[in-house]
Amino acid sequence: MPAVVVIGTQWGDEGKGKIVDNLAEQADVVVRYSGGSNAGHTVVVDGKEYKLHLLPSGILYKGKTCVVANGVVLDPESILKELRGMEAQGIDVSGLRISDRAHVVLPYHKKLDELQEAALGDAKIGTTNKGIGPCYMDKAARVGIRVADLIDPEVFAQKLARNIAEKNKILTAIYGAEPFDYATVLAQYNEYAKQLAPYVTDTATLLHQSVAKGEKIMFEGAQATFLDLDHGTYPYVTSSNPIAGGVSTGAGVGPKAITTVVGVVKAYSTRVGEGPFATELLNETGDHIRQRGHEYGTTTGRPRRCGWLDARVVRYAAMLNSLDYLAITRLDILDELPSLKICVGYRHNGRLLEEIPASLKVLAEVEPIYEEMPGWQQDISGIRKYEDLPLNARRYVERLSEVVGVPLGIVSVGPGREQTIILKKMF
């Protein structure tokens, strides 16, 4: 019954999609348990790039059960677009199962996301404008519409009427925006409901049966530890719990069912959107990493902020997620740099900080403690064995593992399935 969780240890876009795809080959079930279409997971198969937002990365293998669990906020338009896109490419999507308890993103959530951000002005979060925050707000306020409600025309008509009336008041009175037309949204979502209904089920029970049968399950984290609503750099976070603990609430699987937690670490740091970033490089080195790494958002196309690897934050992620192994990605992006820095701790007002400060004011003032290491300045993208990596590349990842206190499990040297060095079998 192995159940492996793959999570992001930084600010997202670590390459979770690639690692999940790699491990999914051996899995029977692949599950998304949090977030929504704000995620953008890239998988490259035989040189062909697939960008997944709501569909679990396991969809690219035939015969896997792919679950969109209760913790996800589901944008019907977005998932149907992905589904049709997959089908058009000849990919079998019959293994998809959608939780009847997942909450539904409605057009007013996306509009409110946009308007709330604009109203924040300089204090904006830099969201993906996918309606994630407003949808989770409705869930927490207990007025949300779940997939089970969507596929029952009578219940949906009632709930939508109540919600749209309230949202239209907010849209017009607070933001001076156009109201939504009830009949139009109803007709549009009734159509989506018909198309989604065949995939809908109680996924918690499905997963429970899967565990009982001894099947191999993979949980695909979206977003990342420092975007976690509780543990990230609040308020510059998303509105869900991407950490490994989110699997229990987001999929209805008890913590004891989880056997292994893999933390994906990009070999340097990036962040898209606003918020503190101690090791950010606002110089030529940052530009070099952005250009070489094509660091532009999968979901929004925004340039990602780039910086040195922050092992201190990864160590915190190891603690929060009970990490068993590290999966290091994009090591090849550093191939050309003559020297590299790893942040191993934070200092504030001359004092070494034991914790990651909750105060954003303090976090903005911390001084990273760096260790400088020589680069390897050679192309590593064709290397398939750990021993064949240049000594300086091995030293770099081993130092990270040492500071974080978690062993290396995977080292990735390119986006392709084959560009993966496996040090530890997860299943």
Nearest Cα to 180, choosing from 163, 164, 193, 162? 164
Residue 365, amino acid: E
Q: In angstroms, what CA-CA distances link 269 with 5, 49, 306, 368?
A: 21, 23, 6, 13
Residue 22 in contact with ligand GDP, rule: CB under 6 A = no
Whole-angstrom distance, CA of residue 278 vs CA of residue 269:
10
**What's the min distance (Å) between Cβ of 44 and ligand GDP?**
5
Decide if 13 is catalytic: yes
* Gyration radius of the chain over CA positions: 21
Residue 40 in contact with Mg ion, rule: CB under 5 A = yes
Instruction: Identify what 163 binds: Mg ion, ligand GDP, ligand IMO, none; CB under 5 to 8 Å per kind.
Output: none
Q: Looking at residues 297 to 336 of the shown chain, list those that interact with Mg ion (rule: CB under 5 A).
A: 298
Q: Using CB under 6 A as the criterion, what x/- string covers residues 214-253 for binding ligand IMO?
A: --------xxx--x----------xx--------------
Residue 13 in contact with Mg ion, rule: CB under 5 A = yes
* Residues that contact ligand IMO, how many (by CB under 6 A): 24
Whole-angstrom distance, CA of residue 134 vs CA of residue 129:
10
Parallel, antiparallel, or unpaired for β 29-32 and 65-68?
parallel
Cβ proximity to ligand GDP: between 21 and 100 the closer is 21
For residues 159, 165, 170 and 171, what is the CA-based torsion angle, rounded to 10 degrees?
Answer: 100
Instruction: Identify what 412 binds: ligand GDP, Mg ion, ligand IMO, none; CB under 5 to 8 Å per kind.
Output: ligand GDP
Contact yes or no for 121/227 (Cβ under 8 A): no
Total count of residues recorded for the chain? 427
Residue 332 in contact with ligand IMO, rule: CB under 6 A = no
Residue 221, amino acid: G
Selected binder of ligand IMO within 128, 163, 225, 401 (CB under 6 A): 128
Beta bridge partners of 4: 218, 260
Q: Looking at residues 398 to 417 of the shown chain, list those that interact with ligand IMO (rule: CB under 6 A).
A: none
Selected binder of ligand IMO within 3, 4, 5, 8 (CB under 6 A): 8
- Counting other chains too, the contacts that 293-296 makes at CB distance below 8 Å and 24 or more residues apart are 293/268, 293/330, 293/333, 295/13, 295/270
Decide if 103 is catalytic: no
Residue 419 in contact with ligand IMO, rule: CB under 6 A = no
Residue 273 in contact with ligand IMO, rule: CB under 6 A = yes
3-state class of 127 per DSSP?
coil
CB atoms within 10 A of CB 135: 26
**What's the min distance (Å) between Cβ of 218 and ligand IMO?**
15
42-74 burial, b for 16+ CB within 10 Å, e for fewer?
A: bbbeeeeebebbbbbbbbbbeebbbbbbbbbbb
Whole-angstrom distance, CA of residue 77 vs CA of residue 189:
9
**What's the min distance (Å) between Cβ of 220 and ligand GDP?**
9
Q: Using CB under 6 A as the criterion, what x/- string covers residues 155-184 for binding ligand IMO?
A: ------------------------------
Q: Looking at residues 335 to 354 of the shown chain, list those that interact with ligand IMO (rule: CB under 6 A).
A: none
Q: In angstroms, what CA-CA distances link 292 with 331, 343, 380?
A: 12, 21, 14
Q: Which of 28, 41, 103, 138 is catalytic?
A: 41
Residue 317 in contact with ligand IMO, rule: CB under 6 A = no
CB burial of residue 180 (10 Å; 0-12, 13-18, 19+): middle
Q: Looking at residues 188 to 247 of the shown chain, list those that interact with ligand GDP (rule: CB under 6 A).
A: none
Cβ proximity to ligand GDP: between 17 and 36 the closer is 17
Residue 368 in contact with ligand IMO, rule: CB under 6 A = no
Stretch that binds Mg ion, among 38-46, 98-106, 275-283, 376-384 (CB under 5 A): 38-46
Q: Looking at residues 279 to 298 of the shown chain, list those that interact with ligand GDP (rule: CB under 6 A).
A: 298
Residues that bind ligand GDP (CB under 6 A): 8, 12-18, 40-42, 44, 298, 329-330, 332-333, 412-415
Summarize as ranges the residues that interact with ligand IMO (CB under 6 A). 8, 11-13, 38-41, 125-128, 130, 132-133, 222-224, 227, 238-239, 272-273, 298
Q: Give catalytic residues, as residue numbers.
A: 13, 41
